[in-house]
A and B are shown apart, each in its own frame.
Chain A
Amino acid sequence: MTTHILAIDDSRTIRNLLTMTLEKAGFAVTTAVDGVDGVQKFREEHADLVITDVNMPNKDGFGVITDIRAGDKNRAVPVLVLTTESGAALKERARKAGATGWIVKPFDDEALVSVIKRLTGADNGA
């Protein structure tokens, strides 16, 4: 079964990068351009994992996680926060919002894929 990933980022470049990296690794990728779009896509489509940027117009990444966790559908989905920040403060905030994990930009392709595989149980041993 193909693992579906919803990638939310307002940066076209990052969206393209994520799509390319993840599709190459065999995932199916849906992208959304901001928080509101992301939450809507999450409700409409199936996602095995969500990757979201933090700083976005309309609704930020923490808002996205809050909405997902408060919703009916698939509320325990793993959500990875993509951020340029690192450190304890971020971890604290991400955790509070209900993030499953975080990836610091610029992300390393292989590390990202391995984290996703681990969090989704996809394609083990591949």
Chain B
Amino acid sequence: MAHDPSILDTFFEECEDLIVALTEGLVDMREGRADDETVNAVFRAVHSIKGAAGAFALDDLVGFAHKFETVLDEVRSHRLEIEERLLRTLQRAGDILANLVDDARDQTPANRELVDPVLAELQSFLGSEQDSPAEDFVFEAMTLDFSGSSDAPTTYELQFTPGREFYTCGHDPLLLITALQEIGPIEVTVDTTKLPNTFTDFHWDDGYLKWTVKVSGPATDLPMREVFQFVDDLCDLKIMTLDDTGAQIDPTDQAIDHIIEALQEPSITVPVPAMEAAQKEESADRPIKKVATTLRVDPERVDRLINAVGELIINQSVISQRLQEADLPNSAELFSDLDDYKLLAREIQEGVMAIRAQPVKPLFQRMLRIAREAADAVAKDIAIITEGESTEVDKTVVERLADPLTHMIRNAIDHGIETPEARIATGKPRQGTLRLSASQRSGSIVIEIADDGAGLNRPRIRELAIKKGLIPDDAALSDQEIDHLLFAPGFSTAAEVTNLSGRGVGMDVVKTAITALGGRIAINTVPERGTTFSITLPLTLAVMDGMIINVSGQTMVVPIASILETIRPSQADLSKIGLKGELLRIRGEYVPIIDLADKLGHQTDGRPMTERVLLLIQTESIAQCALAVDDIFDQRQVVVKSMQSNYGEIVGVSGATILGDGKIALIIDPDAIASDTGTLTHVPPKTDGGRSYVAA
């Protein structure tokens, strides 16, 4: 079979769509809308996965889909009644099928511990006799083996009289005879005695002709059976062997030519009666449903386009700047044209970005599955709600969100939501709720995972952090700071690993993943009411709003998203701490000042802090800090270029960009800079091993 990787890609893409259709159908069925069309759509989805998976010899997938499909077929034909247990099993089977597709894609072996019980459950709906064997998937072999025959060539005589169905099913005796001729020399006779005498009595599809074909050569009748594979019962086929005496065969090419002539004439000239009735019926067909067509494009091409548009925007700002410097007379019109250019460029940019945008729906549905499995595993009754599934996010973001979301959902179910007993004891409804939502808010995507569990246990988190040496015993931390300890590397350890959430990643990994996407994560927890994790992501990864700054003569960019405010401090706002340390007092709180020049290893020009600019930065790691820079210029959209492939990773620098004057500027990663201050944010080096966090 074909193993072209691009077709395999198509298969997995298609599976994604089919799983979505399947999931939707199962939800409809569960909610009581189990009409024939819905059940059929579910059946079709499973059937299509099975059919295509067979082409790639994905046996686990095919086997499971087959069983699933067999049960659905019973439902479809109303032989199985739709009831609670069946619905639950189908739901589970849908989840497993999706897992198997993932396994096949990742080329990981299927988890039989999960698959087999569901297979058995499916089987329980089928009588044992309905368990059709695996032979079903085997192509009915038509491969022929002539090699074994050392026997003398035999001569066969075939007799066949094509009946009406033979013709109406699109068969042609000439083609059969031609195919027989390939097996060996043939001799053909046709009995035309049954042909009607008058043309009006002639019907093109009636069987008037009886053919007798002698084929010499083949050792068995297999090749002839193959030729008649589809028609053996439509033409009253008889195959006989002739002894040597019966077979004195002429070269038959001429015979064939005669037959061709004889046959072609009637089949062309016999008029086919007009079928007006049938035609009318057809034109009254319900309107053809417009098929949603999509264009599948290699992502690399889109990336190239995005890059080119980025360059276009840079180019536009270069021209803009040059013109301003040139100080031309009567330039008003020129600048208005330039503004149009700018608008157009932005429009193209947005259009190109939209190509990469994908709804979060498939991602959310995957998460639904994971949540259901997780809830089952810990025997908690949890309603899982998704909102804003149509929100569109950059493809890369969707792909890279899967792991962090999985982890957070498992955590929420494992630690966040209480057991049914505990919930009832505190007067909450027995069933917990986990809400997964996506929305677009002013240029960002916000994804929230909210549970109505017990909320974070702050005293316990604090205790653990002290025990692990993450904070000093007497650290004065705000509630928010305590919450953020969850994200500190080394906070969660193997000691708290449970079956479910202890999969070797801690919340620090979640945070790293989100940060790598240019996003932020925030926690909002209310004791006894629940915890909400909010992930804020930029709409696109390729362009970012940046503040252009100057540090020791170097032009650099700081992401606007992380700047809370810019401050020109007066002496009264500043306090010294230790030999070099300085603090900024702002609204009654002290915030450490980080000298960016110092941090980056530049020579500081000794300018006093009052002549410099402080950027108040909200960092994810722990709290606010102030970055001291020499000057700020303006805010500008910059095209982010990764340096990883050309230079490697630099801590504190997230990428580079080209500015309007054509110069290259580094983009600062404030979070990385701040988390290396050696104060509260100091964390021990990462260790390997399982981590998870404890929330309750």
A3 and B279 alpha carbons, distance in the complex (Å): 27
Contact partners of B227 in chain A: CB under 8 A: 118
**Inter-chain contact B182/A85, CB cutoff 8 Å:** no
Q: Which stretch of B122-130, B136-144, B457-465 is in the interface?
A: B136-144
Contact partners of A114 in chain B: CB under 8 A: 142
**Inter-chain contact B139/A111, CB cutoff 8 Å:** yes
Task: Tell me, rounded to whole Å, the shortest Cβ–Cβ distance linking B274 to chain A.
Answer: 7
Q: Mark B51-85, 1 if CB is under 8 A from A, else 0.
A: 11011010000000000000000000000000000
Contact partners of A36 in chain B: CB under 8 A: 285, 288-289
Task: Tell me, rounded to whole Å, the shortest Cβ–Cβ distance linking A87 to chain B.
Answer: 8
Task: Say what secondary structure dominates the interface of chain B.
Answer: helix
Contact partners of A102 in chain B: CB under 8 A: 230
Contact partners of A69 in chain B: CB under 8 A: 168
**Inter-chain contact B179/A118, CB cutoff 8 Å:** yes
**Inter-chain contact B55/A13, CB cutoff 8 Å:** yes
A17 and B2 alpha carbons, distance in the complex (Å): 7
Indicate whether A84 sits within 8 Å of B170 (C-beta atoms), given known contacts A12-B14, A109-B1, A125-B182. no
A67 and B11 alpha carbons, distance in the complex (Å): 30
A70 and B273 alpha carbons, distance in the complex (Å): 11
**Inter-chain contact B52/A14, CB cutoff 8 Å:** yes
**B168 CB contact (under 8 Å) in A76, A109, A115:** A76
- Indicate whether B152 reaches chain A with its CB closer than 8 angstroms: no
- Indicate whether B272 reaches chain A with its CB closer than 8 angstroms: yes
A36 and B331 alpha carbons, distance in the complex (Å): 60
**Inter-chain contact B47/A84, CB cutoff 8 Å:** yes
Could you say which of B14, B55, B143, B172 has the most chain A C-beta atoms within 10 Å of its C-beta? B55
- Indicate whether B571 reaches chain A with its CB closer than 8 angstroms: no
- Indicate whether B282 reaches chain A with its CB closer than 8 angstroms: yes
Within 8 A of A (CB), among B1-40: 1-2, 4, 6-7, 10-11, 13-14
**Inter-chain contact A105/B136, CB cutoff 8 Å:** no
**Inter-chain contact A11/B136, CB cutoff 8 Å:** no
Closest residue of A by beta carbon distance from B166: A100
Within 8 A of B (CB), among A49-102: 53, 55-58, 67, 69-72, 75-79, 84-87, 95, 98-102
**Inter-chain contact B178/A55, CB cutoff 8 Å:** no
**Inter-chain contact B51/A105, CB cutoff 8 Å:** yes
Task: Tell me, rounded to whole Å, the shortest Cβ–Cβ distance linking B103 to chain A.
Answer: 17
Contact partners of B138 in chain A: CB under 8 A: 104
Closest residue of A by beta carbon distance from B7: A16
**Inter-chain contact B175/A118, CB cutoff 8 Å:** yes
Task: Tell me, rounded to whole Å, the shortest Cβ–Cβ distance linking A51 to chain B.
Answer: 12
**Inter-chain contact B170/A13, CB cutoff 8 Å:** no
Closest residue of B by beta carbon distance from A58: B289
Contact partners of A55 in chain B: CB under 8 A: 43-44, 47-48
A103 and B434 alpha carbons, distance in the complex (Å): 47
A10 and B172 alpha carbons, distance in the complex (Å): 29
**Inter-chain contact A98/B14, CB cutoff 8 Å:** no
Q: Mark A1-27, 1 if CB is under 8 A from B, else 0.
A: 000000000111110110011000000
Contact partners of A115 in chain B: CB under 8 A: 142, 229
Contact partners of B44 in chain A: CB under 8 A: 10, 55-57
Indicate whether A75 sits within 8 Å of B272 (C-beta atoms), given known contacts A12-B10, A21-B2. yes
Task: Tell me, rounded to whole Å, the shortest Cβ–Cβ distance linking A39 to chain B.
Answer: 8
A56 and B51 alpha carbons, distance in the complex (Å): 12
- Indicate whether B50 reaches chain A with its CB closer than 8 angstroms: yes
- Indicate whether B88 reaches chain A with its CB closer than 8 angstroms: no
**Inter-chain contact A85/B170, CB cutoff 8 Å:** no
Task: Tell me, rounded to whole Å, the shortest Cβ–Cβ distance linking B426 to chain A.
Answer: 49
Contact partners of B142 in chain A: CB under 8 A: 111, 114-115
**B170 CB contact (under 8 Å) in A11, A20, A79, A104:** A79
**Inter-chain contact A13/B52, CB cutoff 8 Å:** yes
Contact partners of A17 in chain B: CB under 8 A: 2, 7, 52, 55
Q: Mark B226-256, 1 if CB is under 8 A from A, else 0.
A: 0101100010000000000000000000000
A53 and B178 alpha carbons, distance in the complex (Å): 28
**Inter-chain contact A11/B51, CB cutoff 8 Å:** yes
- Indicate whether B171 reaches chain A with its CB closer than 8 angstroms: yes
A109 and B142 alpha carbons, distance in the complex (Å): 12
Task: Tell me, rounded to whole Å, the shortest Cβ–Cβ distance linking A17 to chain B.
Answer: 6
A121 and B10 alpha carbons, distance in the complex (Å): 32
Indicate whether A11 sits within 8 Å of B48 (C-beta atoms), given known contacts A99-B169, A100-B169. yes
- Indicate whether B564 reaches chain A with its CB closer than 8 angstroms: no
Task: Tell me, rounded to whole Å, the shortest Cβ–Cβ distance linking B635 to chain A.
Answer: 45
Contact partners of A87 in chain B: CB under 8 A: 136
Closest residue of A by beta carbon distance from B13: A12
Closest residue of B by beta carbon distance from A74: B170
Contact partners of B178 in chain A: CB under 8 A: 121, 124
A37 and B290 alpha carbons, distance in the complex (Å): 9
Closest residue of A by beta carbon distance from B17: A12
A107 and B51 alpha carbons, distance in the complex (Å): 10
Closest residue of A by beta carbon distance from B1: A106
Indicate whether A72 sits within 8 Å of B274 (C-beta atoms), given known contacts A102-B230, A118-B175, A121-B174. yes
**B171 CB contact (under 8 Å) in A12, A78, A109:** A78
Contact partners of B13 in chain A: CB under 8 A: 12
Contact partners of A10 in chain B: CB under 8 A: 44, 48
Contact partners of A79 in chain B: CB under 8 A: 169-170
- Indicate whether B167 reaches chain A with its CB closer than 8 angstroms: yes
Contact partners of A118 in chain B: CB under 8 A: 175, 179, 227
Given A104-B137, A104-B140, A121-B178, 14 extra CB contacts under 8 A: A17-B7, A17-B52, A57-B41, A69-B168, A70-B278, A71-B275, A78-B172, A84-B136, A95-B169, A98-B170, A101-B229, A118-B227, A119-B171, A124-B182
Residue pairs across A and B with Cβ atoms less than 8 A apart, 15 shown, are: A13-B10, A13-B11, A13-B52, A14-B48, A16-B7, A17-B2, A17-B52, A20-B7, A56-B44, A72-B275, A72-B279, A84-B54, A95-B169, A95-B234, A118-B179
List B residues at the A interface (Cβ < 8 Å): 1-2, 4, 6-7, 10-11, 13-14, 41, 43-44, 47-48, 50-52, 54-55, 57, 136-140, 142-143, 165, 167-172, 174-175, 178-179, 182, 227, 229-230, 234, 272, 274-275, 278-279, 282, 285, 288-289, 291
The 9 closest A-B pairs by CB, nearest first: A101-B230, A106-B54, A13-B52, A100-B170, A78-B170, A13-B11, A70-B278, A106-B55, A11-B48
